[in-house]
Structure 1
Amino acid sequence: MFSRVNVDRVSLVIVDQIKGLIREGKLRPGDRLPTERELCQRFGVSRVPVREALRVLEATGLATVRVGARGGGYLTSPTAERLGEGLSDLLSLSPLTAANVTEARMIVELGILPLVVERATADDITELYDLIEAGGTALQDGTYTMEMSAAFHIRVADSAHNPAISMLVRGFHGPLLMSLEKAMEIAPAMGRLGIDEHLKLVDAIRFRDLAAAETVLREHLHRTARRVEHTRLD
């Protein structure tokens, strides 16, 4: 299945070949890759690029390297969290403003809300209420953080029960958190209002009231947008 390579940065060529075989269905999660020695022979390269290729595959969540008698490289399915980390790093290192992030949130979060209202389960609703209660308690004792707010919005997205949406929103976690922190710096007293809006949003989702949910979320996001206008994330 593998072709010999003889170009610069051969480790990336090896990675591309393995990814191609995964896309074609010739390799699947759980499959054990050939040994390092066998891979070297099949690709016609030394152990250095083979080991580097395995590190790249492991870093991207496509493989895991085990040790021991049954050790070696095994293909895995990348999780939403792992894939999201890469996207989050790219977004976090880009010259974004908090306003840029909030505009994107309006498109994404309002866009997925119909699915959330339609598909949210009783467990989803319970967990969202739990997050709100925990946030309220933290606000009272002075331990509330924007990480708690970000976790709420991510959990709302998960209630759409679409792995692509969860992956997208989790990948946006870094910029989302930074924009929320900027908003809190500008108006630290708004935490109580934010939690109240979270509660109204979950109430609307529970009653399958899309219009009410959209009204609450739109005002919630517009208020954040007004606070962070022209504010950079750095």
Structure 2
Amino acid sequence: MARQVTSTSLTQAVADHLRMRIHRGDVSPGERLPAERELAEQLGVARISLREAIRQLREDGYVEVRRGSTGGTYVTELRRPAEAWRARMREQAGEIDDIVDFRIALETQTATLAAHRRSEATLAPVQESLGALRDVIGRTAFRQADSRFHVALARAARNDRLTDAVETARGELFSPRDLLPFREPVEETLRDHQAIFEAVRDGDAGLAAEAMRAHLERARRQLRAIVFGTDHDTDGDPEWSSA
């Protein structure tokens, strides 16, 4: 029997979607969400459902509503939801490893398919993301360039379900990097991304999968450092290779 869709479940779905976008870094701390009418149209929902979803996000500390000439709904500094996420990861033993294991299975297969199905048209956005990473200034640009790479690679695999799954899995690993001490490892991340891209471009599916696995295993260690305070570098900051 099909489950009935209620206004409550729709509101929750909208709130979860916006929360996922914030987790992935699509919208960063301090950034303004689109105006209510525009955002409701983008999501294809009634404004009342969007309003309720925004209320939920406000209560959870994700957004704040500002008044005045520059008013609107803005993403907060995420300190409260970040700490709530870290506490949940600490309490749920093995959760981080489960999510990273899933991402490895997902994205190594994505890299494999991309190597088999690549074309000039699908590789162009992947290569453009490398250029964006080389030119980043600031953490927001760094996060966005990293996200562009993984999504573009998933699209190069030419499987819409894989692309959706990659985006969802990235959203589950809420690592609020703007709040935590770390050195932006542009060179290390660029090296990883470049190795994956070259293997895909050359049609070497095995090497592409191996490079992606190494990239995500590095991310596993770094996420554990953020959540549990282990595997820090010598200056006390977690080593970071964005993933």
The TM-score with structure 2 as length reference comes to 0.51
Q: 2:169 aligns with which of 172, 180, 195?
A: 172
Query: Secondary structure at 2:135's aligned position in 1?
Result: helix
Given the alignment, which residue of 210, 214, 230 partners 1:215?
A: 210
Structure 2 counterpart of 1:209, which letter?
A: D
Match of 1:224 among 219, 223, 228: 219
In structure 1, give the amino acid aligned to 2:204.
D
Distance 2:215 2:178 in 1: 12
Per-residue CA shift, 1:42-62, capped at 9, x if unaligned?
xxxxxxx8xx59x949x78xx
Q: Is the 8 A contact 1:136 1:195 kept in 2?
A: yes
1:139-166 alpha-carbon deviations (Å, 9 max, x no partner): 5x77633232122112111111112112
**Over aligned residue pairs, what C-alpha RMSD do you find?**
3.7
Assess, with a 3 A threshold, how the Cα gap between structure 1 residues 142 and 170 changes in structure 2: closer, same or farther: closer
TM-score between both structures, scaled by the size of structure 1: 0.53
Q: Is the 8 A contact 2:151 2:166 kept in 1?
A: yes
8 Å CA contact 1:154–1:170 kept in 2: the answer is yes
Task: In structure 1, list runs of 5 or more residues that go unmatched.
Answer: 1-11, 16-48, 61-80, 83-88
In structure 2, list runs of 5 or more residues that go unmatched: 15-42, 45-56, 58-80, 90-94, 229-243
- 1:203 paired residue number: 198
- Residues 182/101 of structure 1: CA separation in 2 closer, same or farther (3 Å cut): farther
User: Shift of the alpha carbon at 1:186?
Assistant: 6.0
Question: Aligned pairs, how many?
Answer: 153
- Counterpart of 1:220 in 2: which secondary structure? helix
Aligned: 1:111 with 2:109: yes
Counterpart-to-counterpart distance in 1, 2:115 and 2:192: 16
- Higher Rg: 1
Q: Is the 8 A contact 2:192 2:215 kept in 1?
A: yes
Q: 2:123 aligns with which of 110, 120, 125?
A: 125
Give, in whole Å, the separation in 1 of the partners of 2:149 and 2:158: 15
Secondary structure of the equivalent of 2:147? Answer: helix
Task: Kindly report which structure 2 residues correspond to 1:142-161, keeping only aligned pairs within 5 A, or say none.
Answer: 144-161=141-158
Alignment of 1:74-85 (within 5 A): none
Deviation (angstroms), 1:215: 2.5
Q: Could you give the per-residue CA deviations for residues 19-43 of structure 1, whole angstroms, max 9, x where no partner exists?
A: xxxxxxxxxxxxxxxxxxxxxxxxx
